[in-house]
Amino acid sequence: MGTDDGRHTVNCNCKVGSVAESYDIGGITYELEDLWTADGDEGYSLRELADYFNRAVLESAMRGVGIDPLDGDVANVYRLLTDDEASPGSRVEAERRLEREGTSADRLRDDFVTHQTIYRHLKNCLEAEYQRREPNPRTRIQRDIERMEGLQNRTTVIVEEIVRRLHDAELVSIGGFDVYNDVRIVCEECAKQYSPRELLQRGGCGCGVDGSS
């Protein structure tokens, strides 16, 4: 790996690395990893990364032949070159424009990468671990407790609402009522019962039997 102070250039031999180098956008090879592993909704999908990379290639090629792309210009030309839905007329026009300025649409398309290529680069060249995006175990358990309790509360509310509506429509007769919605997880080995929160917080039944082994 070649590094120079933080913003490294990469020395990988995969297509991502060699294309990035030939378009003088070496830093992007690491930027891809940052974008990929960003937390939560910020993280790019592999397809988005491929588009991001390819647009950077296109932009560099356009600038290289003296085109100064305006806002949205790169994205638009990229779409025309790659999207099967683009009108053939507009595509040819975009290709001609690039050729006129001295760059080749065919060569650009050859240099564009697929999401599989991006994935191999992240995996093999950068050893980026997709797992990094998994939250830590404590956060994960907390999130799952909240999810289950949220579902449980929703069920209670819905049941209450339905009974009340049917009661109002005089289809079901009942006085005041309460809805009990008690989710229990029962260990088959020792018959102890837990609420989802209890079981997850204590990390298991603890009677010594782990059915998964």
Give the residues lining the site for Zn ion (CB under 5 A): 12, 14, 16-17, 121, 125, 187, 189-190, 205, 207
CA distance 14 to 58: 19
CA distance 11 to 18: 8
Residue with tokens 């997880």: 185
Whichever of 16 and 128 has its CB closer to Zn ion, that residue is 16
> Minimal distance in Å, beta carbon 6 to Zn ion?
19
152, burial (CB in 10 Å: exposed 0-12, middle 13-18, buried 19+): middle
CA distance 203 to 213: 16
> Minimal distance in Å, beta carbon 16 to Zn ion?
4
> Minimal distance in Å, beta carbon 196 to Zn ion?
15
Whichever of 7 and 165 has its CB closer to Zn ion, that residue is 7
Strand spans (E) along the chain: 185-186, 193-194
Whichever of 1 and 157 has its CB closer to Zn ion, that residue is 1
88, burial (CB in 10 Å: exposed 0-12, middle 13-18, buried 19+): exposed
> Minimal distance in Å, beta carbon 167 to Zn ion?
41
Whichever of 26 and 80 has its CB closer to Zn ion, that residue is 26
> Minimal distance in Å, beta carbon 56 to Zn ion?
15
Whichever of 151 and 209 has its CB closer to Zn ion, that residue is 209
